[in-house]
Homo-oligomer: A and B are copies of this chain.
Amino acid sequence: MLDCFFNPQSVALVGASLNTEKLSSVIYESLRARFSGALYLVNPAHEELGGIRCYPSINAIKERVDLAVFALSAEHIPQMIHDSAGLFTGAIVVSGGFKEAGPAGAELEAELREYARSSGIRIIGPNCLGIFDTVTGLDTFFIPPIRMERPRSGGLSILSQSGSFAVTVMDELAAEGVGVARVISYGNKADVNESDCLDFLAADEATSAVVLYIESVEEGERFVNAASRCVLNKPVAALKVGHSAPAAAAARSHTGAMAGRYEIYSAAFKKAGVIELQGYEDFLLACKVLGDKTDISHGRRVMIITDGGGIGVSIADSCVDLGLEVPPLHESIARKLHGSLPPVCAISNPMDLTGSVTDRDFGEAMLKTMDGESYDIAIVASLWGPPGLTDNLPALIADKKKYLKKPVIICTPGGTYTRKRRELFRVLGLPVFFTPESAARAVSFIAEGGKDRWS
């Protein structure tokens, strides 16, 4: 149904310009650089732009156009859509100045919706950034690459009502090395909404997980159904902002959304099996842990292995606070470990391998605790102060994980030396978190029975 957006063979950029003060100049550069289909430019003020022919109107193109991207003043757009009815299948309207801008803008938006419905085209936006898609190369995000890095290709898809939120998150994910499939900023959703997108992403082979930023959902039942279907195929996590009164009022002026009571959203997420996120930090964590295709666990019993006592204690506190279990070591496991670890180690859960730790100790601890039915997920927290740890540690942990076939979450808080080591874990596909709380939180997202998911 949304193929015009996610598999367009031809795109028309309406309002095309090389003037770097115009949003469309960034879109022009992106489409030229990475979109592999046919690209048509529309602007009556030019005959060509950067060596590409420029048409006075969509009607003048005379070729099939799957998707028209509108990046010009709001007041012109409804009429243009009306005048070129039947000439294209989908439209992304990035321009602001609609419902979010007051009564006159709301009227314009109603017109836009009316024309779209009567001519059978689908619209994403207005007041949005549109689509960033590593599968097709489509990129209508009008922020220049220097100010917003584009993430690499990956399996995570993001749906966001807020454009600036999507931009900020993408920029963070690019810096953290997390890959994405499709990012959709749908703004005022005059037509296409989160449920339409969920329907598409549920069946999308390029998408292995979905994370949503929501200010409001108007069609509640449809959303629950769409999300439920999507959850059957891949994990879905959602952040609903605006649970406080001032935030709800702000969201209303931001995308014209009626936020509604938070409890209703929370219940809907639960019903659909959607992982409920509590804020920006959760959103990033979910992107990381789900984007890294970390296995979803069938249990919630966590084993914590660390070389820093205080960090282990902090992780245990966080896990318990989140409704995860940190069961004590079974006598038989403890016995095995006493035989193979130095006597200075605290053989317990959390396990403290202490400052005398070596790479091998981490491996031994993982194998002897996780090989069996006692634990579902391991959090391995390596502090890099101990001189016995080498840069081979990440590969050794990845190796044990492969053998154990259970989720392993890495936690490595610290400064410059540690931050460089995070990359070693990352390239091996191990999800890396920087604080005890974020590691525990990430585990709660992938653990059945974690507080947020099923309580």
Q: Which of A131-139, A194-202, A223-231, A305-313 contacts B (4 or more CB under 8 A)?
A: A305-313
Contact with B along A236-263 (1 / 0, CB 8 A): 0000011111110111011100000000
Query: Is A348 at the interface (CB under 8 A from chain B)?
Result: yes
Residue from A243, A310, A387, A413 with most neighbouring chain B CB atoms (10 Å): A310
Q: Which of A165-223 contact B (CB under 8 A)?
A: 165, 167-168, 170-175, 213, 215
Contact with B along A68-104 (1 / 0, CB 8 A): 0000000000000000000000000000110001000
Copies in the complex: 2
Contact size range, A? 35 or more
Query: Is A436 at the interface (CB under 8 A from chain B)?
Result: yes
Residue from A243, A313, A354, A417 with most neighbouring chain B CB atoms (10 Å): A313
Contact with B along A309-322 (1 / 0, CB 8 A): 11111101111110
A346 with B147, Cβ < 8 A, contacts A165-B311, A281-B437 known: no
Distance of A222 Cα from B387 Cα, bound (Å)? 38
Residues in B with CB closer than 8 Å to A418 are 168, 171
Q: Mind listing 16 A-B residue pairs with CB under 8 Å?
A: A149-B416, A167-B308, A175-B415, A243-B317, A244-B326, A245-B320, A246-B320, A246-B326, A246-B328, A246-B348, A246-B350, A247-B320, A247-B326, A250-B316, A253-B348, A280-B314
Contact residues of A with B, CB < 8 Å? 21, 96-97, 101, 143-144, 146-149, 160-165, 167-168, 170-175, 213, 215, 241-247, 249-251, 253-255, 279-281, 284, 307-314, 316-321, 326-328, 343-344, 346, 348-350, 352, 354-355, 383-385, 387, 413-419, 435-438
